[in-house]
Structure 1
């Protein structure tokens, strides 16, 4: 990694990753402030968070394909421009509808931007060791965004204005664009392919209908016509998507990728990681401020040790995996992370910041040790499929985060309602639902550790690259 331009290309990619990860979580601590100023319902709060993840996850696969077709540097810059302008619009929003719409457009920009980051790393660092180091740095920067997000969200929403959690992206976006224009070389898939518009439409429709049903089901009634219709749309759209991807000449997702058990196992484990972490992140912020009574700034500070531990752990993960084997380090990390998530349920209405720290630190250390999953998934991909492979990996992670927020929200709301009916006070009822969500999230992360053990152990014990299978020949 001695080439100066290559290092600056990594800086640009890392800054872009920082921005998109930041917007996954900076809003969580600020949500109670936005709720008061815009008079949000619970569904409104979930939509502000989920609209970004929905378009991000729904369009990321096509973003990866577009990067392979039209050039990764070009898509990187276009995505960065869309994301930066949408951030400006979000900060200027004066009502909940405008804010949700701006967040959705931010997700579009992130969907064009994010798949290019890993693909650019793969093209810029062809040497495996250099590439793995670069991916470790990429992961560490993402973890730093997890630290900066809550802290910045708390400080800005409490002491400046909540709009500045979006305005901060504007100077970051301009600096990143300037570096990228100079440092990143263009790369693309040498084989000309067509865009899979039918796959895009059916997958986006399935994700949108599922998100709507899960967020609105509690308020509208799970047996209501609109919710049942939404689930029917999910089933039909998902089945159509699979059928289209199996028969089209240039699919958005080459399903043959999943014949490789290492790639499939890594994607599965990554999804369970994201479900547990992002699924509980949003509600932990509500718990810390709504139940424990922390200010936004104090709430943001509470998350910092977890994210810093994750960043340090992520930076060390590649060397630890080389020494002990990725299947051991990743599975152990996910077990520690899952236990850390579940252990938060031991604390009630009177927990202090010090009480929460052991659990949060365990989540951070364990979560950072999972970074080799990304390298394992990409290592079995030919370079001309790097954009699609990174798109699948990032989409699965974002989709799991979206499902985590909505499904854990359903679990929490259902349990909360039943406790209120049983005579519990609202705070006690919320706490009971939150604790049940913690158990579910923790168990799923531990299950991800088992999946990573199986997948990565196979990767270390037998050859895994079969390019005829991977490209669907």
Structure 2
């Protein structure tokens, strides 16, 4: 049991480390690969897009074809893709490697959780999943520091090579330690839904990222938006008619489910979209080294790691609506405050703004996931949790694309990169504050509540906000 817990935690640690370590290396990638902001957006979004669109299918794959097999396959693909990224001679090869990394992560992450859920009996399962989330979450905090050190010493390829020894150990130990398990009654794979979702969101993302450089009214960009809307409309039709859809649309008939996932899109949008620029701000606006920039971005990730374990307890006591609303308000205010930071602003007047952003989002994510799970039957709790993670990732894709397009458009109009960043932070803050109001008004439940993640029973008054 301990070996299984260690392996699954290490696998998820590797995935989450990759989420933040890349941000520290973006300035070095831009210089060495001779790319612009658009290229950096693709480096991030190529990975996040595949994770977002394949995450739900990854869990079904694990249940249907074997959790051990899918986990080890995900580790192998992720590790091999990391090698491709580290050896990439051009931006195109790096983006291709990031796509492969996203495929590997979309298999590895849900399979690791499925292995834990299958191996541990109900009384011990909550503790095991808590350790899995807590230990692997250290990867979020370690990313900026590890990225800064590795890039400063060896250059950006080193941030991907660090995955190779971890992946090799996971493969060798997993082949010896992990036992196979599967769910014979698992639903079939929703291939049409998966393909349409990837293509639809991918087309919209292409338009958002490339629009700044190609022109928003160019035929290619207008065509990509039109194709994306058509594909996403087809996705909705297919999911509504499929017997076993990857995303059951009936879940959105529950207001609590719909509101919580809408808010989760905003969380991904504002958090990932703003953090994409953190290291770039310190390097390009304030003139620090990449290592110092990595250190200076730590308050956000450290605050999230420290505060996140308490968010579920606060929600159990005060309600989803109160805690999520306060969290979104704090995050929005922190982002608005970042919008007024300039080249000559001392770090003593910057770090607390980053910390407020981290605290706010840490208070938000667990209650929103708990609200989504609360709104469905006990048998669909895993699906609801997966949808919540997927909507956050979709928001992340859009955040990097939209806020990056905003910065690019401001620069094209003659504004400085600093002014573009200020506009992006202010926009992210405004959207987050609007979502805080939306959540405060509508994140309510009319049905009898159940326990939220962490095993804490949810009182009726708390579930209703």
Q: Do these two structures clear the TM 0.5 threshold for a shared fold by scoring above it? A: yes
1:199 to 162, 187, 193: 193
1:301 to 259, 280, 295: 295
1:439 is matched with 426
1:110 is matched with 105
1:280 to 274, 290, 295: 274
Q: Which moved more, 1:57-66 or 1:31-40?
A: 57-66
1:74 is matched with 69
Bigger relative CO (Cα 8 Å, ≥ 6 apart): 1
SS of the residue corresponding to residue 345 of structure 2 reads coil
Q: Which moved more, 1:50-59 or 1:191-200?
A: 191-200
The aligned runs of 1:83-94 (5 Å cut-off) are 83-94=78-89
1:25 is matched with 20
2:448 to 455, 462, 467: 462
From the superposition, tell whether residues 353 and 14 of structure 1 become closer, same or farther in structure 2 (CA, over 3 Å).
farther
From the superposition, tell whether residues 336 and 105 of structure 1 become closer, same or farther in structure 2 (CA, over 3 Å).
same
User: What is the deviation of 1:167?
Assistant: 0.7
The aligned runs of 1:296-445 (5 Å cut-off) are 296-370=290-364, 371-380=366-375, 385=380, 388-418=383-413, 420=414, 429-445=416-432
User: What is the deviation of 1:116?
Assistant: 2.9
From the superposition, tell whether residues 280 and 173 of structure 1 become closer, same or farther in structure 2 (CA, over 3 Å).
same
The aligned runs of 1:1-12 (5 Å cut-off) are 5=1, 8-12=3-7
From the superposition, tell whether residues 243 and 377 of structure 1 become closer, same or farther in structure 2 (CA, over 3 Å).
same
2:157 corresponds to 1:157:
no
2:222 corresponds to 1:228:
yes
Residue 260 of structure 1 contacts residue 464 of structure 1 at CA under 8 Å; is this kept in 2? Answer: no
User: What is the deviation of 1:450?
Assistant: 4.2
Gaps of 5+ in 2: 452-465
User: What is the deviation of 1:328?
Assistant: 2.4
How far apart, CA to CA, are the structure 2 residues paired with 1:454 and 1:137?
33
Deviations 1:112-146 (A, max 9, x none): 12233444454455647x55555554444454322
Gaps of 5+ in 1: 466-473
2:202 is matched with 208
Residue 189 of structure 1 contacts residue 384 of structure 1 at CA under 8 Å; is this kept in 2? Answer: no
Deviations 1:265-297 (A, max 9, x none): 322222211111101111222111100111100
User: What is the deviation of 1:262?
Assistant: 2.7
User: What is the deviation of 1:231?
Assistant: 1.0
2:213 to 219, 226, 230: 219
From the superposition, tell whether residues 175 and 379 of structure 1 become closer, same or farther in structure 2 (CA, over 3 Å).
farther
How far apart, CA to CA, are the structure 2 residues paired with 1:265 and 1:76?
32
How far apart, CA to CA, are the structure 2 residues paired with 1:464 and 1:56?
29
Q: Which moved more, 1:325-334 or 1:337-346?
A: 325-334
User: What is the deviation of 1:148?
Assistant: 1.3
User: What is the deviation of 1:406?
Assistant: 0.4
TM-score, normalization by structure 2? 0.88
User: What is the deviation of 1:185?
Assistant: 5.6
2:30 corresponds to 1:35:
yes
How far apart, CA to CA, are the structure 1 residues paired with 2:385 and 2:4?
17
User: What is the deviation of 1:88?
Assistant: 1.6
1:468 is matched with none
How far apart, CA to CA, are the structure 1 residues paired with 2:361 and 2:394?
18
TM-score, normalization by structure 1? 0.87
